[in-house]
Amino acid sequence: MKKLKIALEYKAFPIWVYDENGIFLDNDSPELLLKDKKLDDKLVNLQATYDALFIENSIEFGYKGFQSQDEKNKFEEDIREIIEIIAKDVKGKYEVENKIDMKKL
């Protein structure tokens, strides 16, 4: 079965699509999910929040993290909600794998 991995990388879309053999196909929503504008907005916001956890300028690039535990908890809730929506929408067509390790954030 094809696989959708939900993973966060700086300045990359959070959905990674793999074929049945584990070969990377795309870093975007599969066509099946493109019609869900609310989901797309949630994914874009998730990535924007993740990208904001870093400092990037001409002098440095580094991780600064969340400003509060509440902010981190909200981020984790958003991830769970997004994964639930995706899993429901692609059931039987893709396996969904959460590759986000909140302990590392």
Every domain of the chain and the residues it spans: 2-104
Give the pLDDT band (50/70/90) at residue 73: very high
What is the Cα–Cα distance from 90 to 74, expressed in whole angstroms? 24
Helix (H) or strand (E) holding 18: strand 15-18
Average predicted confidence (pLDDT) for the chain: 97
Strand 15-18 to 2-6 pairing: antiparallel
Query: Looking at residue 88, what is its pLDDT?
Result: 97
Task: Read off the tokens for 65.
Answer: 């993290």
Q: Return the higher-pLDDT residue of 38 and 105.
A: 38
Predicted confidence (pLDDT) per residue in 79-90, tens digit: 999 999 999 999
Mean pLDDT of 35-55: 97
pTM score over 0.85: yes
